[in-house]
Amino acid sequence: MEDPGKFLAVMRQTAPLVHNITNYVAMNVMANVLLAAGASPAMIHAREEAAEFAGLAQALTVNIGTLSPPWVQAMEEAAAAAVAAGRPWVLDPVAVGATGYRREVGARLVARAPTVIRGNASEILALAGAQTAGKGADATDAVAMAHAAARDLARRSGAVVAVTGAVDFVTDGRQSAEVANGHAMMPRVTALGCALTGVVGAFCVGQEPFAATVAALAFYGLAGEEAGAVAAGPGSFQVAFLDALAALTAEALTSRARIVCA
Ligand SMILES: Nc1ncnc2c1ncn2[C@@H]1O[C@H](COP(=O)(O)OP(=O)(O)O)[C@@H](O)[C@H]1O
Ligand SMILES: Cc1ncsc1CCOP(=O)(O)O
Ligand SMILES: [Mg+2]
């Protein structure tokens, strides 16, 4: 496995402009996480400008958390523009199994050739068309239950698929890896998964998507460990997490990442 610290160093050196079409819950959290990590966020979702901006930004992320038809048009047009410009784009299928509308939009976005799909186990199972116990934005399935579905989705879509949870799983359908960094407080703070999707987008700028995604997950999980060591609960965790993202060095990531080939 490649040195994850190198991917963090390149991301910070690039300080990429990341265009995010994300949900109302995540906008502020995600922008602060991207800034703390070393990237430059822009939250832009109007159909009139989304495609134009996606052509300017260095990466695009699309999140269906609070979707509605005009947003979905903007998502599809922005994704097409990112693909045409040769830029990476990352799909976050929030609660994709919850309703027929979400399932339909999820399938349409997968057909737009995302570079990476990042979701929790219940979301990846639903997107792959498998059985899931998931209903809302939180996972109710274990990551291991989604390994096969993730491999299948990766082969079918051509995307790198990242399933996050207690131990993250990343696959491109041929090679796979597990990332064991993280903290149990992370799923108790809203939008940390959404914000991670932005960090994955930032790491993919100019870097190979499978290894970049693995490095992004280790970086994020390690910052979670640092925050968990000092936080009194989910509130102070959120503040400590931003500080940890900003403070983590490439050297610390290289020495403390817990990545294994799977
Ligand atoms: N039980 C857990 N223990 C450690 N880390 C976790 C746990 N659950 C989630 N994480 C971490 O939280 C981050 C967000 O993932 P997740 O909670 O799966 O996303 P989402 O919010 O989209 O459901 C990831 O870095 C993941 O590794
Ligand atoms: C609670 C909620 N409802 C719609 S979007 C959203 C945020 C989900 O964030 P995350 O997937 O990072 O937990
Ligand atoms: Mg999520």
d(CA 63, CA 7) in angstroms, rounded, equals 24
43 is in an annotated binding site: yes
254 is in an annotated binding site: no
Which atom of ligand 1 is nearest to 217's Cα?
A: 25
Give, to the nearest 10 degrees, the angle between helix 192-203 and helix 4-14: 80
- Which residues neighbour 164 within 8 Å (Cβ) at sequence distance 6 or greater? 118, 119, 120, 143, 193, 196, 217
Which atom of ligand 1 is nearest to 221's Cα?
A: 25
Give pLDDT tens digits for 137-191: 999 999 999 999 999 999 999 999 999 999 999 999 999 999 999 999 999 999 9
Q: pTM value? A: 0.98
Please give the CATH superfamily to which domain 4-261 belongs: Ribokinase (3.40.1190.20)
Tell me if 94 CB under 6 Å of ligand 2: yes
Mutation to probe ligand 1, out of 22, 138, 164 (largest number of atoms < 8 A from CB)? 164
Measured in angstroms, how far is the CA atom of residue 196 from the centroid of ligand 1? 9
Which atom of ligand 1 is nearest to 183's Cα?
A: 4
Which tokens is 223 given? 């910052």
Give pLDDT tens digits for 219-256: 999 999 999 999 999 999 999 999 999 999 999 999 99
SS3 of residue 180 by DSSP: coil
Measured in angstroms, how far is the CA atom of residue 185 from the centroid of ligand 2? 15
Tell me if 23 CB under 6 Å of ligand 2: yes
**pLDDT of residue 1 exceeding 90:** no
118 is in an annotated binding site: yes
**pLDDT of residue 89 exceeding 80:** yes
Q: Where are the domains of the chain?
A: 4-261
Can you tell me the ipTM of this complex?
0.99
Cβ burial 137-159 (10 Å sphere, 16+ → b, else e):
bebebebebbbebbbbbbeebeb
Give pLDDT tens digits for 97-128: 999 999 999 999 999 999 999 999 999 999 99
Residue with tokens 């990466």: 59
Residue 168 burial (CB < 10 Å; 0-12/13-18/19+)? buried
191 is in an annotated binding site: yes
d(CA 206, CA 185) in angstroms, rounded, equals 32
d(CA 120, CA 50) in angstroms, rounded, equals 26
